[in-house]
């Protein structure tokens, strides 16, 4: 926190706590942090996982590099400093979602190890699950329907991760998905199994209600 | 959105929609935006309201000028530009909370009319309820236990709303609370009645479950 605004702030504890909200939702708040190259399949896996969690009655939200950049981070570009600030803001935002008792699924390239580690520390290691969606850059480029890899190779798009900007793969991801060899549904099932094992989903809540909805 | 990042973005629709999440929560997503001077009682009313909503089984979260400024907006101060950017980021964040089907209760001074109107437009007028917590500055100063009004009057704290920085009261607030004459519980009940009337709380969900929790 900078000097300018350090003199008149105090932290307020609300009357309703995270534990209360987690009891209401019948699961814990957590972040599943998908990291990997553009077109590696992060958003698709996150969306399949969200559907599976919804069927279990879980409160979720999918954050996406593209849609967050239209809003919260619309003032930021793709320089190293802007990428770090982008991930910092997202980290602070998802921390509040976790406090609200939500399972946040984030699908950002998030190329820098230090940025991801900062969020793990911010949210708490027991609530943060890093999933590396590992896919060779050639496969990502071949899948890319938007033609952005072509533009990156031609230099029309600058500072593009995997082509003209670095990607630092996680050394100790909670899970590695090889999305060139596994489909999105089977990948999402693996993540579901992980967060069950870690105790984020504490019970099958409201199954009868939800089954009638989906 | 600026020029730098406008060439490779598309908006992703997830598989699970806001409507799905609203069915799960059995209420709509919305923002109750409390605005007013420091120590006018915004956070206290928001916390009482959150407790009432929790007892109704609603998924909620209270955002507070102080706690957001430690995280998402820790790089911002209290200049006019920084105040506008502070409220812009909060607006973009609560928009995602609304999309997640949460009732977001925000307690920020938010002194500029144009900033608040921008958020109303961003979130949608049917999901945004502006509550003016109206309290004479002398009463706020007399209640202030942190001594910040004293410091503001002495000039130790600069650009302090109501003393050395402007506050633009809403002209068409959805509700005005005179917090010098009404207590926080009765104020919270008025807001609850407002959002019931506006259809945000669509049914009394899970009453039997929740009654056993609180």
| Nearest CA-CA partner of A190 in A40, A52, A25 | A52
Whole-complex ipTM: 0.88
Tell me the two tokens of residue A139.
């496969």
Given A5, A15, A97, which is nearest B47 (Cβ)? A15
Q: Using a CB-CB distance cutoff of 8 angstroms, which residues of chain A are in contact with residue B124? A: none
List of domains in chain A: 27-135+168-211 (3.40.50.300)
For all residues of chain A together, what is the average pLDDT? 88
Interface test with A, best of B72, B118, B124 (most A CBs within 10 A): B72
Instruction: Give the angle subtended at the CA of A156 by the CAs of A153 and A162, to the nearest 5°.
Output: 40
Cβ–Cβ below 8 Å for A16 and B47: yes
Enter the pTM of the model: 0.89
Residues of B within 8 A of A52 (CB-CB) are none
CA distance A37 to A109: 6
Question: Which pLDDT band holds residue B206 (cuts at 50, 70, 90)?
Answer: very low
Residue of A nearest to B23 (CA): A213
Res. B39 pLDDT band, cuts 50 70 90: very high
Mean pLDDT score of chain B: 88
% of chain B beyond a pLDDT of 90: 82
pLDDT at B5 over 80: no
Task: Answer whether residue B210 shows pLDDT above 80.
Answer: no
Confidence (pLDDT) at B2: 32
Confidence at residue A210, expressed as pLDDT on a 0 to 100 scale: 42
Model confidence at A184: pLDDT above 50: yes
CB contact under 8 A, A76 and B5: yes
Q: Which of B127, B203, B123, B14 is nearest to A54 (CA)?
A: B14
Q: Give the pLDDT confidence score for residue A14 in this predicted structure.
A: 56
pLDDT of residue B12 exceeding 60: no
- Tens-place pLDDT, residues B114-156: 999 999 999 999 999 999 999 999 999 999 888 999 999 999 9
Q: Could B8 and A101 be called an inter-chain contact, meaning their C-beta atoms sit closer than 8 Å? A: no
Chain segment A1-32, per-residue pLDDT in tens = 333 333 344 444 558 999 999 999 999 999 99
How confident is the model at residue B15, as a pLDDT?
86
Q: How far is CA B128 from CA A7, B173, B182, B186, in A?
A: 31, 10, 23, 21
pLDDT tens digits along A42-91: 999 999 999 999 999 999 999 987 679 899 999 999 899 999 999 999 99
pLDDT for A67 equals: 77
């Amino acid at each position: 926190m900078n000097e300018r605004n350090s003199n008149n702030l105090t932290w307020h504890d609300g009357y309703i706590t995270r534990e209360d909200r987690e009891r209401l939702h019948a699961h814990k708040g957590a972040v599943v942090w998908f990291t990997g190259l553009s077109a590696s399949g992060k958003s698709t896996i996150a969306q399949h996982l969200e559907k599976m969690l919804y069927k279990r009655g879980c409160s979720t939200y999918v954050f996406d590099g593209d849609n967050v950049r239209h809003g919260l981070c619309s003032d930021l570009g793709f320089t190293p400093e802007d990428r770090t600030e982008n991930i910092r803001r997202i980290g602070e935002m998802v921390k509040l979602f976790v406090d609200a008792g939500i399972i946040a699924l984030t699908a950002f390239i998030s190329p820098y190890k230090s940025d991801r580690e900062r969020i793990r520390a911010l949210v708490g290691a027991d609530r943060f699950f890093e999933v590396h969606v590992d896919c060779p850059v050639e496969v990502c480029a071949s899948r890319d329907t938007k033609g952005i890899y072509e533009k990156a190779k031609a230099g029309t798009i600058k500072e593009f991760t995997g082509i003209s900007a670095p990607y630092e793969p996680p050394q100790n991801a909670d899970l590695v998905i090889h999305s060139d060899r596994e489909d999105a549904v089977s990948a999402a099932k693996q993540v579901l199994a992980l967060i069950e094992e870690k105790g984020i989903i504490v019970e099958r809540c409201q199954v009868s209600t939800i089954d009638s909805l989906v």
